[in-house]
Amino acid sequence: MSKRFGVSMRTLFRWKNRIEPKLKRNKPATKIDMAALKADVKNYPDAYNDERASRLGVSKSCIFYALKRLGMSNKKNTFPSQGG
């Protein structure tokens, strides 16, 4: 069976012991200090993600996913631009 699907025997035994799929990732954030991010959001509410990333020393995508974990979203414009 392992040769047919190209997986190791150990993987098959692991799958046999846990049939249901894993739905959540049970791992804390390692690259960013969440308390520092909360403080940064409080001190600079209008900052862009790249500005936060440079202040905290991480990437923009790291800031995006950390804000998502905190339940915060990017600010949205309530008024559309007047450009034509």
Q: Please give the model's pTM, rounded to 2 decimal places.
A: 0.58
Assess whether pLDDT exceeds 80 at residue 10.
yes
pLDDT in tens, 11-58: 888 888 777 777 777 777 778 899 999 999 999 988 899 999 999 999
Instruction: State the Cα torsion 69-37-73-66 to the nearest 10°.
Output: -30
pLDDT at 76 over 70: no
What is residue 77's predicted lDDT score, i.e. its pLDDT? 59
Q: In sequence order, what are the residues at sequence separation of 6 or more whose Cβ sits closer than 8 angstroms to the Cβ of residue 75?
A: 45, 46
For the residues of 10-72, what is the DSSP string, one character each? HHHHHHHH--SPP-S-----SSS-HHHHHHHHHH-TT--HHHHHHHHTS-HHHHHHHHHHHT-
Interatomic CA distance for residues 13 and 80, integer angstroms: 56
- Residues 6 or more apart whose Cβ sits within 8 Å of residue 50: 60
Where residue 73 falls among pLDDT bands split at 50, 70, 90? confident
Q: How high is the pLDDT of residue 74?
A: 66
